[in-house]
Amino acid sequence: MMEYVSSLLFGLCFAAVLGAIVRLLSPDGSTARLMRLCTALFVLVSVARPAGKLLHDLPSPAAAQSVQTAAEAVLETARNAIEQTARQTLDAHGFAQAQIQVKMQVKDGQAHAEVFRVTGVPPAQKQEIEDELFALTGERPVVESAARETARP
């Protein structure tokens, strides 16, 4: 950005000095008016060229949209990886009915689980599952015990 600004200022100063010298050396009369017109056009072109390059190099809205789409894809991939790891771990322990909820967010430039909840784990194995999932995913889950069945008469 500073390169464009310095280029713009240099071009403007150069054009103004050169235009002033040409106007001082030009004769009076109709030639003077023509020289003023040429000098004004020269200054405008000298300023417009770096300004046009700056506008051309600015990111387009389509580029910003594709960056947003890529960021969403990264979050979705991270969410799927955590969810699959949790599902494999729960299935290995025999908790096929356990529910997994994962919601991702970007924090400090990295994808992290904002919500990582596992429900349907027996209370006796809650801490073991929590520790194993944390070791595998790097995210600390909230493990909730399975609802106890009420005794039937």
**What is the model's pLDDT at position 92?**
92
How is the chain split into domains, by residue range?
Answer: 2-58, 63-145
Asked if the model's pLDDT at residue 2 lies above 80, the reply is: no
Phi and psi, residue 114, nearest 5°: -80, -40
**What's the pLDDT at 151?**
36
Q: What pLDDT shows up at residue 118?
A: 92
pTM of the model: 0.56
- Return the exposure string of 136-151: e unless at least 16 CB atoms fall within 10 Å of the residue's CB, then b: ebebebebeebeeeee
Name the pLDDT band for 147 (thresholds 50, 70, 90).
low
Under 8 Å CB-to-CB from 117, ≥6 apart: which residues? 100, 101, 102, 141, 142, 143, 144
Confidence tier at 99 by pLDDT (50, 70, 90): very high
C-alpha neighbours within 13 Å on the C-beta side of residue 69: 6
33 CB contacts (<8 Å, ≥6 apart)?
none
Closest C-alpha among 74, 75, 99, 70 to residue 86: 99
The CATH number, out of the four listed (3.10.110, 2.60.40, 3.30.300, 1.10.10), of the domain defined by the range 63-145 = 3.30.300
pLDDT band at 88 (very low <50, low <70, confident <90, very high): very high
Question: Which of 129, 74, 142 shows the shortest CA–CA distance to 102?
Answer: 142
**Confidence tier at 1 by pLDDT (50, 70, 90):** low
Percent of the chain with pLDDT over 90: 13
Pairwise pLDDT comparison (41 vs 152), residue with the higher score? 41
DSSP 19-40: HHHHHHHSPSSHHHHHHHHHHH
What is the number of residues in the chain?
153
* pLDDT band, residue 109 (cuts 50/70/90): confident
The reported pLDDT for the residue numbered 69 is 85
Give bridge partners of residue 118 from the DSSP assignment.
100, 143
Return the closest-CA partner of residue 46 out of 16, 12, 23: 12
For 55-109, where are the E strands, in sequence order? 99-107
The residue among 116 and 65 whose pLDDT is bigger is 116
Per-residue pLDDT tens for 27-46?
877 777 888 888 888 878 87
